[in-house]
């Protein structure tokens, strides 16, 4: 992981779809370890239209 510090020191990761870095959001506080997409649009592109965050199947590695 890059050591760059964002403002407020929020954690960040790269979107697996578009490759852009995105930072921690409040709505992800409980699922941050599972978040892989920067947005719903990217999640839809990757998930092929699956609804909701695919947390239960864990089908993306791990
Ligand atoms: Zn993205």
Torsional class of 6: left (φ above 0), alpha (ψ -120 to 50), beta (otherwise) = beta
Total domains in the chain come to: 1
Q: Which domain holds residue 43?
A: 7-47
* Separation of alpha carbons 18 and 57, rounded Å: 22
Distance 22 CA to ligand 1 centre (A): 8
Residue 53 belongs to some domain of the structure: no
Residue 59 belongs to some domain of the structure: no
* Separation of alpha carbons 48 and 27, rounded Å: 22
Residue 29 belongs to some domain of the structure: yes
pLDDT digits (tens, 9 = 90+) for 7-61: 668 999 999 999 999 999 999 999 999 999 999 999 999 876 555 555 555 555 5
Residue 62 belongs to some domain of the structure: no
Residues with CB under 5 A from ligand 1 (ion): 15, 17-18, 38, 42
Residue 56 belongs to some domain of the structure: no
Residue 57 belongs to some domain of the structure: no
Residue 23 belongs to some domain of the structure: yes
């Amino acid at each position: 992981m890059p050591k760059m510090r964002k403002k407020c020191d929020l954690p960040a990761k790269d979107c697996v779809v578009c490759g852009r870095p995105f930072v921690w959001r409040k709505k992800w506080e409980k699922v941050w370890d599972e978040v892989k997409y920067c947005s719903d649009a990217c999640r839809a592109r990757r998930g092929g239209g699956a609804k909701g965050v695919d947390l239960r199947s864990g089908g993306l590695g791990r």
